[in-house]
Amino acid sequence: MAEPFVISPYLPSRRATLAEGQPISELMSRALDNPGLISLAAGFVDQETLPVEIVRDVMSDLLGNDVEARAMLQYGTTPGVTALRESILDQFTSTTSTREALDRVVITAGSNQLLHLVAESLLDLEDIVLCAAPTYLVFLGTVANLGARTWSVATDDLGMIPEALEATLQQLARSGDLPRVKAIYLVPYFDNPSGIMMPSERVQRIVQIAQRWSHKTRIHVIADEAYRELRYVGEDVPSASEFDEDGETVIVAGTFSKSFSPGVRVGWGILPEHLVGPVCAQKGNIDFGSPNFNQHLMAEVLRRDLFTQHVEKLRASYHRKLAAMLSAADEFLAPLEGVTWRRPTGGLYVWATLPPRIDTGPAGELFDRSIVEGMLYVPGQYCYPVEGQPVAKNTMRLSFGVQSCERIRAGIAALARAIQAVA
Ligand SMILES: Cc1ncc(COP(=O)(O)O)c(C=O)c1O
């Protein structure tokens, strides 16, 4: 008689196992389970300011000519649409768009994809990326998913501290781990989650430190500029890439998600020449080119100067929301003992610190109590690298992008009630 037919159980791959337990999915499901909640958690952009009219007009013009429209609706190339790459250089760098400069720009499906491709191109198992404490939680997952390590460097109100970075590199040299350090990850403009704007002088010093310590293995600086355009006070400052004279150290990750539309999801990388081949090879294996039509859309939006006009409108709207959150914090959180928060001048986030005895994580009392009171925040502990600095469990990220000014105020009032209840 034939053996009974038995199907083996599914054994997840190493990557699938490493991807488990992402806080982002857990947070989204908590929000969806409680639709009445005022979510100050999601880093989504303001629904009201999404550029519906601009996209409608430009799309209908782009589709006006059948031959051109068909080309746009076809696959494109792996590095992306040339006109868009030229406009990105013109708009965001001081570099003239020579052939060489253009070759270093790669368009991706959002900057998360660029971060992913860069991580794939730089990191082997057990390699290390140095990050601020705290830092962008999705990037922590990207690194962990490759079996590589994230290591935090002490951070103050101006971002990663150069002296602490030196001390960390010395420590890793002593333990024999220095050759594993492949990159330093920074979010220099209005960081997610801390809201910090790093002064240029500090960014420059970090680039110099990376170069000085690159004697055996090259240490790249990944400058994630996702929030560069969301500045509400003062003037723009130069990108980290301006401090990298030979262009071999700094990797810039940019995106139109926050400044235009995450639904269009166009991002880019400006890469050292030696990384263009590896990044495009990885991309070739994934999608051999980001959505072509979306790239043409963005190229046209930039060509007509509609992007700059849109960003002006966005800034005004987010500035009002930031002011609403800060004044609600002054009103409801200031009276609570030991509660402090940063006052950012851009971006989408306010970083708050509670008394050390209050655990803001899902295991602590405050998280559930906040849901009962009607609001949701991102526990700060999700934003800390695995090794290095201790995790500050009494912190949280509050987003002001999505909700109206009234709901921001109500959300902060609910948070204050929750803190009082568990204090
Ligand atoms: C710091 C940072 N980098 C990158 C991204 C990725 O954005 P996208 O992939 O939509 O370009 C985000 C999104 O929230 C972010 O906060």
208 in Cβ contact with 244 (< 8 Å): no
213 in Cβ contact with 251 (< 8 Å): no
Tell me the pLDDT tens digit for each residue of 296-347: 999 999 999 999 999 999 999 999 999 999 999 999 999 999 999 999 999 9
The DSSP letter of residue 75 is -
Instruction: Determine the distance separating the centroid of ligand 1 and the alpha carbon of 113, expressed in angstroms.
Output: 9
Residue 403 has pLDDT above 80, yes or no: yes
- For residue 187, the ligand 1 atom closest to its alpha carbon is 1
- Sheet with 267-270: list strands edge to edge: 105-108, 267-270, 250-255, 220-224, 181-186, 128-132, 149-153
Q: Residue 70's pLDDT band (boundaries 50, 70, 90)?
A: very high
What pLDDT, on the 0 to 100 scale, is given for residue 1? 61
- CATH code of 14-50+309-422, in short, is 3.90.1150.10
Give the closest residue to 158 by CA, choosing from 183, 132, 178, 123.
132
How many residues in total does the chain contain?
423
Domain extent listing, the chain = 14-50+309-422, 75-305
CA distance 53 to 270: 30
Bigger pLDDT: 42 or 72?
72
Instruction: Determine the distance separating the centroid of ligand 1 and the alpha carbon of 332, expressed in angstroms.
Output: 30
Kindly state if the Cβ of 187 falls inside 6 Å of ligand 1.
yes
185 in Cβ contact with 155 (< 8 Å): no
What kind of architecture, by CATH, is found in domain 75-305?
3-Layer(aba) Sandwich (3.40)
Q: Residue 98's pLDDT band (boundaries 50, 70, 90)?
A: confident
Q: What is the mean pLDDT of residues 132-137?
A: 96
Which helix H or strand E contains 60, and what residues bound it? helix 52-62
What pLDDT, on the 0 to 100 scale, is given for residue 7? 86
How would you classify the pairing of strands 159-160 and 155-156?
antiparallel
Beta-bridged to residue 376, according to DSSP, are 39
Tokens of 321: 């929301």
Instruction: Determine the distance separating the centroid of ligand 1 and the alpha carbon of 227, expressed in angstroms.
Output: 8
What pLDDT, on the 0 to 100 scale, is given for residue 186? 98
What is the distance in angstroms between the CA of the first residue and the CA of the last residue of the chain? Answer: 70
Tokens 């406009």 — which residue?
87
CA distance 303 to 286: 29
CA distance 141 to 21: 10
214 in Cβ contact with 251 (< 8 Å): no
Kindly state if the Cβ of 255 falls inside 6 Å of ligand 1.
yes
- For residue 43, the ligand 1 atom closest to its alpha carbon is 14
Ligand 1, atom 16, lies closest to the CA of 192
Amino acid at 121: S
Q: Residue 2's pLDDT band (boundaries 50, 70, 90)?
A: low
Instruction: Determine the distance separating the centroid of ligand 1 and the alpha carbon of 79, expressed in angstroms.
Output: 19
What pLDDT, on the 0 to 100 scale, is given for residue 344? 98
If one residue of 138, 227, 349 were mutated to test the ligand 1 pocket, choosing by the most ligand atoms within 8 A of its CB, it would be: 138
Amino acid at 287: D
CA–CA distances in Å: residue 332 to residues 67, 326, 421, 422: 59, 10, 14, 15
Tell me the pLDDT tens digit for each residue of 244-297: 999 999 999 999 999 999 999 999 999 999 999 999 999 999 999 999 999 999
Provide the total of helices (H) and of strands (E) in the chain, helices listed first.
Answer: 15, 15
Q: What is the mean pLDDT of residues 187-213?
A: 98
Q: Which of 88-102, 136-150, 284-298 has the lowest mean pLDDT?
A: 88-102
Bigger pLDDT: 191 or 10?
191
Q: Residue 9's pLDDT band (boundaries 50, 70, 90)?
A: confident
Kindly state if the Cβ of 398 falls inside 6 Å of ligand 1.
no
CA distance 307 to 325: 26
If 0-12 CB within 10 Å is exposed, 13-18 middle and 19+ buried, where does residue 212 land?
A: exposed
Tell me the pLDDT tens digit for each residue of 24-58: 677 767 776 777 899 999 888 898 999 999 999 99
Strand, helix or coil for residue 128: strand
395 in Cβ contact with 380 (< 8 Å): yes
